[in-house]
Amino acid sequence: MLYHSTSNHQTAVRLEQAVIKGLAPDGGLYVPDALPRLPKAFLRNMSAMTLQEMSYAIAAYTLNSDVPADVLHDIVFETFNFPIPLVETASGKYVLELFHGTTMAFKDIGARFLARLLDYYRQRHPEWHTLNVLVPTSGDTGSAVANSFLGMPGVNVYVLYPRGAVNLIQRAQFATLGHNVTAVEVNGTFDDCKSLVEKAFMDDELNSVMRMTSATSINYARLVPQMIYYFWAYIQLEKLQRDTRNLVFAVPCSNLGNLASGLMAQRMGLPVKRFVSVENQNNIFYNYVKTGLFTPKPTQYSIAPALDAGCPTNFDRIIELLGSHENVCRHIHAYSYDDDQIVQTIQHTYREEQYLLDPHTAVAYRALGEDLKPGETGIALGTAHPAKLKNLMEDIIGHPVPLPDQLAHFIKGQIHVKKISNGFTAFKRLLMQT
Ligand SMILES: *Cc1c(COP(=O)(O)O)cnc(C)c1O
């Protein structure tokens, strides 16, 4: 299989280059020249498989022998090493709980897969010495990526986060790890963190002395495992003997990697009636669906911090997959909610349905309620565990939210951070030192 850039259809690279580079040299995103259509018989027989077996089978079809079978098998089995239950709520809607991994956000899935694939390539390139992973974060990406690469020989991870804008539990998930993970507190905004990383990638001097890569959803390898869990939702409905004919997925959207993954699953043959994209007040994609105009804006902070993106990076992949604005509108219904609406939804669902939604999952769940028609089956993607934002959740519902052991364990650790200004010189000096 070959991959081209969304900015230039003439480029043809192999998976290895697409994954190592992350972003194409022309600034575009890598996409496969074609996605295979899964055989009908495979879809019919899928429900006899375990999560890991199904995941490996779909990954093998998708990557089409780009990675040796035994290597891919291990990567997939180590990625999907926790349950992904489909939970039916009191109102008959479903939440696909993607948050039972190490850091309790769905990003564990994409990050674990990418980390293991990069590790495989690193072992084939002894001349790299060290691979440096630079990751700007508002919380979830940094912790998922740092934990996925933690302790891997030959890899250094730098997590850049905006001072004062990441909550304590999330910060503890990357700033207490030590070993090969460096937490960098930037005196600036999330957009400043992103821009520091972009400058590092373009800096000739840094590129001549160190091998750098990004682990954000720019990287195609993050999307492959994310596509897989849409199939897993379908299998679970089948096992429950529920109607799978009019399936609607609601996705909390920020950089649109998750939505792009869902569209890929549909392209490969998963019967999805439509997707519902849901943003907070950073509603760049919503505005695109309504007007046909894509207009990035500065990021606004909200109570759903992982949705705070003012320039969704995977937009071009969505357009590449669907082709036109008209087609986007046919496949996707868009919604956008402010903080008050998120709070109302969490309170209402907790009170009436005894289900505790985290603020990210809440936007998807609310939109599903508004968008579903009779006879349709609705699944909201549950992207984070509510305890990740424990204090906020307790304020919203007025009850204690217990911290799972997995998260409590991070809180006990000692915090180590390197503090820098938002100027590039300081960041470059820090990278050159190590
Ligand atoms: C990253 C994230 C999202 C948004 O996913 P995208 O692929 O960037 O659209 C939603 N919810 C949570 C909890 C996240 O961490």
Q: Ligand 1: which atom is nearest the Cα of residue 258?
A: 7
Minimal CA–CA distance to 388: which of 106, 159, 190?
106
Q: What is the pLDDT of residue 135?
A: 94
Which two three-digit tokens encode residue 360? 């990210």
Which two three-digit tokens encode residue 99? 């948050």
Q: Is 27 left (phi over 0), alpha (psi -120 to 50) or beta?
A: left
Residue at 306 is within a domain: yes
Q: Is 361 in the pocket of ligand 1 (CB under 6 A)?
A: no
Query: What is the mean pLDDT, run by run of 10 residues, along the chain of 434 residues?
Result: 92 93 88 94 92 97 91 98 97 97 96 96 88 91 95 95 90 95 95 91 91 88 97 95 94 97 98 98 97 93 91 94 97 98 98 98 98 97 96 97 92 94 96 88
Q: Is 111 in the pocket of ligand 1 (CB under 6 A)?
A: no
Q: Ligand 1: which atom is nearest the Cα of residue 139?
A: 15
Q: Positive or negative CA dihedral for 53, 56, 58, 60? A: negative
Residue at 56 is within a domain: no
Nearest-CA residue for atom 14 of ligand 1 = 306
Q: Ligand 1: which atom is nearest the Cα of residue 260?
A: 7
Q: Is 349 in the pocket of ligand 1 (CB under 6 A)?
A: no
Q: What is the pLDDT of residue 99?
A: 98
Q: Is 145 in the pocket of ligand 1 (CB under 6 A)?
A: no
Q: Name, in order, each residue with C-beta under 8 angstroms of 162's C-beta and a sequence gap of 6 or more.
A: 138, 186, 188, 189, 190, 192, 193
**Cα(131) to centroid of ligand 1, in Å?**
25
Q: Ligand 1: which atom is nearest the Cα of residue 256?
A: 9
Q: Is 140 in the pocket of ligand 1 (CB under 6 A)?
A: yes
**Cα(360) to centroid of ligand 1, in Å?**
8
Q: Is 312 in the pocket of ligand 1 (CB under 6 A)?
A: no
pTM of the complete model: 0.95
Q: Is 253 in the pocket of ligand 1 (CB under 6 A)?
A: yes
Minimal CA–CA distance to 340: which of 396, 380, 300, 388?
396
Q: What is the pLDDT of residue 140?
A: 86
Q: What is the pLDDT of residue 30?
A: 95
Best residue for ligand 1 mutational test, from 95, 107, 308 (most atoms within 8 Å of Cβ)? 107
**Cα(205) to centroid of ligand 1, in Å?**
33
- When divided into structural domains, the chain yields a total of 1
Residue at 206 is within a domain: no
Residue at 259 is within a domain: yes
For the stretch 263-267, contacts whose Cβ atoms lie closer than 8 Å and that sit 24 or more positions apart, written own/partner, are 263/318, 263/321, 263/322, 263/331, 264/35, 264/223, 264/227, 264/321, 265/227, 265/228, 265/230, 265/231, 266/230, 266/331, 267/35, 267/37, 267/321
Q: What is the pLDDT of residue 65?
A: 80
**Cα(109) to centroid of ligand 1, in Å?**
12
Residue at 414 is within a domain: no
Q: What DSSP string describes 338-378? A: -HHHHHHHHHHHHHHH-----HHHHHHHHHHHHH--TT-EE
Q: Ligand 1: which atom is nearest the Cα of residue 255?
A: 8
Minimal CA–CA distance to 115: which of 57, 61, 75?
75
Q: Is 359 in the pocket of ligand 1 (CB under 6 A)?
A: no
CATH number for 333: 3.40.50.1100
Say if strands 30-32 and 3-5 run parallel, antiparallel, or are unpaired: antiparallel
Q: What values do phi and psi take at 320, rounded to 5?
A: -60, -40
Q: Is 383 in the pocket of ligand 1 (CB under 6 A)?
A: yes
Residue at 340 is within a domain: yes
Domain membership of residue 305 as a residue range: 83-105+221-402
- Map 123-168 to HEC letters: HCCHHHCCEEEEEECCCHHHHHHHHHHCCCCCEEEEEEEECCCCCH
Minimal CA–CA distance to 184: which of 422, 426, 413, 417?
417
3 state DSSP class of 66: coil
Residue at 407 is within a domain: no
Q: Ligand 1: which atom is nearest the Cα of residue 261?
A: 7
